[in-house]
């Protein structure tokens, strides 16, 4: 193992500091006794208690999770279908146009996406509320799913699907019993990505949300405009905690799976050798 030079050590420290000091400050101040966010008044967990008393925050959190779940599921189904057609559909009329259009929302400024969706909902007379947020989120996160899924589809051996057809599957059966299990990891990560995007979206949601359906980011943003309350710090700390646990768990699982595969391969080679 090479030792860190002073240059590398410094850049590493600076980099991590840049990334994590803001979060650490939020975490520290969430345990602040004082009502003033910038003045330390001793350790306390009272803001967590108050957070769980705050109906408005809890409602917003519930709406956010509902929207996230439903919209990410819709986005996953549509995005996977789109990716499958783009990668496997061969040449068909309008393919180039379609593939360009599916990636367009990736580069479209969110303000424009939000505004155009708002105009659409108004013109078709759909009342703003949870439904409109779900539709809007599904629309913009779908293309992320299809990017992730299509990269997996491109890399896997086409003849596996042909083998399924050859052995008596209808095209749909082949997709269900062979293609889907193989691309499942990509579909799941696409779904997680869509879920995350939906959970932290502020811009699009603020265009299409109605008075009855405030999501957590909107709620946080609007209450911060009235002054940062220590409750927000507590909420942020909880979210950081959830994300950390999720990330660590995911990377541990992948690492363990990789190790197991390696062991099994070695076993196979020994058995055959």
Among 163, 224, 243, 257, binds another protein (CB under 8 A): 163
Tell me which of 10, 155, 170, 254 binds another protein, using CB under 8 A. Answer: 170
Q: Could you say whether residue 127 binds another protein (CB under 8 A)?
A: no
Asked if residue 88 binds another protein (CB under 8 A), the reply is: no
Q: Which parts of 201-240 interact with another protein (CB under 8 A)? A: none
Q: Could you give the CA distance from residue 245 to residue 64 in angstroms, rounded to a whole number? A: 20
* Region binding another protein by CB under 8 A among candidate stretches 5-13, 68-76, 208-216, 260-268: 260-268
Choice from 38, 96, 123, 272 touching another protein (CB under 8 A): 272
Q: Binding segment for another protein among 21-29, 33-41, 66-74, 176-184 (CB under 8 A)?
A: 176-184
| Least distance (Å) between residue 185 CB and another protein | 11
**Residues 108, 115 contacting (CB under 8 angstroms):** no
Q: What is the DSSP letter of 135?
A: H
Residue range at the interface with another protein (CB under 8 A); choices 65-73, 75-83, 174-182, 208-216: 174-182
269 near another protein, rule: CB under 8 A = yes
Task: Give me the least distance between CB of 65 and another protein, in Å please.
Answer: 31
Question: 177 burial class (0-12, 13-18, 19+ CB within 10 angstroms)?
Answer: exposed
DSSP alpha helices (H): ranges in the chain?
A: 6-30, 46-53, 55-88, 95-107, 110-123, 130-155, 158-166, 171-174, 180-200, 203-208, 216-225, 230-272
Do 198 and 137 contact (CB within 8 A), yes or no? yes
Cα separation, 140 vs 146, whole angstroms: 11
Which residue in the block uniquely carries the two structure tokens 């850049």?
Answer: 11
Contact present, 61 and 69 (Cβ < 8 Å): no
Q: Which of positions 141-160 make contact with another protein (CB under 8 A)?
A: 157, 159-160
Residues that bind another protein (CB under 8 A): 157, 159-160, 162-170, 173, 178, 181-182, 261, 264-265, 267-269, 271-273
């Amino acid at each position: 193992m090479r030792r860190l030079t002073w240059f590398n050590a410094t850049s590493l420290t600076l980099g991590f500091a840049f990334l994590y000091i803001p979060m650490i400050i939020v975490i520290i101040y969430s345990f602040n006794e004082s009502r003033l966010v910038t003045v330390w008044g001793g350790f306390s967990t009272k803001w967590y208690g108050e957070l769980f008393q705050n109906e408005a925050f809890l409602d917003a959190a519930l709406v956010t999770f509902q929207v996230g779940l439903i919209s990410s599921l819709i986005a996953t189904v549509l995005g996977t279908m789109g990716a499958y057609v783009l990668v496997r559909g061969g040449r068909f009329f309008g393919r180039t146009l379609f593939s360009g259009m599916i990636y367009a929302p990736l580069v479209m400024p969110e303000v424009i996406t939000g505004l155009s969706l708002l105009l659409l909902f108004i013109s078709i007379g759909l009342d703003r509320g949870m439904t409109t947020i779900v539709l809007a989120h599904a629309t913009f996160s779908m293309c992320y799913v299809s990017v992730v899924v299509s990269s997996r589809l491109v890399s896997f051996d086409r003849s596996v699907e042909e083998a399924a057809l050859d052995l008596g599957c209808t095209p749909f059966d082949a997709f269900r019993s062979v293609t889907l299990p193989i691309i499942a990891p990509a579909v799941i990560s696409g779904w997680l990505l869509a879920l995350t995007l939906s959970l932290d979206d502020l811009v699009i949601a603020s265009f299409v949300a109605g008075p009855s359906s405030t999501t957590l980011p909107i709620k946080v943003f609007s209450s911060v405009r009235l002054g940062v309350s220590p409750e927000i710090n507590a909420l942020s700390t909880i979210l950081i905690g959830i994300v950390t646990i999720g990330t660590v768990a995911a990377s541990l699982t992948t690492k363990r799976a990789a190790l197991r595969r390696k062991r099994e391969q070695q076993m196979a080679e020994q058995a055959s050798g």
